[in-house]
Amino acid sequence: MNVIRQKIAEILLEAGAVSLRPDQPFTWASGIKSPIYCDNRLLMSDVNARREVREAFCHFIREKGVACDLIAGVATGAIPHAAWVAERLGKPFVYIRAAAKEHGKQNQVEGKVEPGCQAVMIEDLVSTGGSSVTAVEALREAGAKVDHCLAIFSYGFAEAQQKFDAAHCELTTLTDFPTLIQIAKEKRLIQAGQIDLLKKFSADPRSWLK
């Protein structure tokens, strides 16, 4: 098991950012019924957790030699993480709204984007991928090149990967669904009999309950 993936999964569970409730599913804003809920905003209040996440992002950018002139955070959950990464790497920072403002300059991307700059976009969470790819497109329209999206966690849905592939943007997560479930099992946060149910959700989130 990848050391960083394992460490970040442990951090999410210890910080209470991930709730596993297979027997009483959560309802997402999209209407999807889910046995898992991830709220990475809780990491902002945990000094050690947010530091580990920041360093994991920076490690990936440095070790993989990812071209990076600009760090962009997706509103709202990824804004602080992206800002911390930008500060650590000494890079400019911008953030991307879900939609353009209806007043003022009607910006969707806040901050200065130099035409042709290579941006690395940071997300706190990727579910179905729709809002993330919309952010990629907005950043490109603002003049940046966007080849990489880094996220703390993803549910591992095939439709999310398909959307990123179609957008020609590589998605990389600090930890993933299989690692999280394995760590949760080892820590006895879920029962062995619940693992198949969680895997069915990841494979087909819209109809697993049926």
- Is the pLDDT reported for residue 104 higher than 70? no
pLDDT range class, residue 182, cuts 50, 70, 90:
very high
Q: What CATH number does domain 3-203 carry, 3.40.50.2020, 3.20.20.70, 3.10.20.740, 3.90.1170.50?
A: 3.40.50.2020
Q: What is the 3-state secondary structure (H, E, C) of the chain?
A: CCHHHHHHHHHHHHCCCEEECCCCCEECCCCCEECEEECHHHHHHCHHHHHHHHHHHHHHHHHCCCCCCEEEEECCCCHHHHHHHHHHHCCCEEEECCCCCCCCCCCCEECCCCCCCEEEEEEEEECCCHHHHHHHHHHHHCCCEEEEEEEEEECCCHHHHHHHHHCCCEEEECCCHHHHHHHHHHCCCCCHHHHHHHHHHHHCCCCCCC
pTM above 0.85, yes or no: yes
Would you kindly state where each structural domain of the chain is located, as residue ranges?
A: 3-203
Mean pLDDT, range 143-149, rounded to an integer = 98
Mean pLDDT, range 10-28, rounded to an integer = 91
Residue pLDDT, tens place only, 52-87:
999 999 999 999 999 999 999 999 999 999 999 999
Residue pLDDT, tens place only, 25-51:
999 888 889 999 999 999 999 999 999
